[in-house]
Structure 1
Amino acid sequence: MSETETAAAPVEWLTLPDLVEMLGEPLGRVHRLFDEQHLVGSRRNGPLAVPALFLVEERPLPSLRGTIIVLKDAGFTDDETIDWLLAEEESIGRSPIAALRDGHKSEVRRVARSLA
């Protein structure tokens, strides 16, 4: 696991081996989570990795998938999607991932749709 700085705080990143261990799933199933947009990852720091904030109770955050789809439909790359989810969003008053983790998916997706 490595850490990268964002504007707000350090972010813990989970690599594929970390995800396989944490989720208790074979590598093929972990790859499917990316293919089906339950997770989004980045290779900007080397191997494919996912912010740990994207998981809750050792599973992908359920509200993350729909939000990823909205952002991808708006033309966001994987890195742009991750950056937007982690950055402070003025209209929400916190980072979108924090709002999703608190159960405010409608508000986050409304803002995400406005980015298209």
Structure 2
Amino acid sequence: MSDSQPGTRLRETPSSVQDLPEEPSGWLDLPDVAERLDVPITKVHQMIRDGALIAVRREGVLRIPAELVAGRNVLKHLPGVLTLLHDAGYNDAEALRWLYTPDTSLPGTPAVALSGDRATEVKRRAQALGF
């Protein structure tokens, strides 16, 4: 399957992820995420496999956008939004692109809005993609 086919769950960084419409505020590698969440790194790997977190390879290392991990928690609505996007046929690269595409009706991007009072609206929009 190619990177552009919906439903392809690749961990490699296709060009569509390297050229996101808006870059995350930073990238965390998996040991940093494990430290932030105060969990073993194996738990972070499990969260990625379960779709509760999204990670892509950047410079040969699996990384997670920093703003998706708030303090000692993954953003509350992130796992639900990722599930909705995957159910709509988005692969990880496409889901990341959607999360980092600026939207004038939100404060910045859906990823940024997930950490604020617009999280429910982001979930609603992700759900609508499946129809």
Same fold (TM over 0.5): yes
Q: Output the TM-score relative to the length of structure 1.
A: 0.82
Q: Distance in 1 between matches of 2:34 and 2:107?
A: 33
The match for 2:7 is none
The match for 2:47 is 33
Q: Structure 1 regions of 5+ residues with no counterpart?
A: none
1:4-41 Cα shifts (integer Å, max 9, x gaps): 77444553111112112222211211111112222111
The answer to whether the Cα contact below 8 Å between 1:86 and 1:97 also exists between their aligned partners in 2 is: yes
Aligned equivalent of 2:76, options 54, 59, 62: 62
Letter in structure 1 aligned against 2:100: L
**Are 1:76 and 2:90 matched, yes or no?**
yes
Query: After the TM superposition, which residues 1-116 of structure 1 pair with which residues of structure 2 at under 5 Å, given as runs?
Result: 6-8=20-22, 11-92=25-106, 94-116=108-130
SS at match of 2:57: coil
SS at match of 1:11: coil
Letter in structure 1 aligned against 2:30: L
Q: Distance in 1 between matches of 2:85 and 2:24?
A: 23
Q: Distance in 1 between matches of 2:71 and 2:35?
A: 13
Query: What's the RMSD between the two structures over aligned residues?
Result: 2.1
1:37-61 Cα shifts (integer Å, max 9, x gaps): 2211111432111000101112111
The size of the alignment, in residue pairs, is 113
CA, structure 1 residues 8+102, in 2 after alignment: closer, same or farther (shift >3 Å)? same
Q: Output the TM-score relative to the length of structure 2.
A: 0.74
* CA displacement at 1:85 relative to structure 2: 0.8
1:76-100 Cα shifts (integer Å, max 9, x gaps): 1111111111220245363111211
Q: Distance in 1 between matches of 2:61 and 2:77?
A: 25
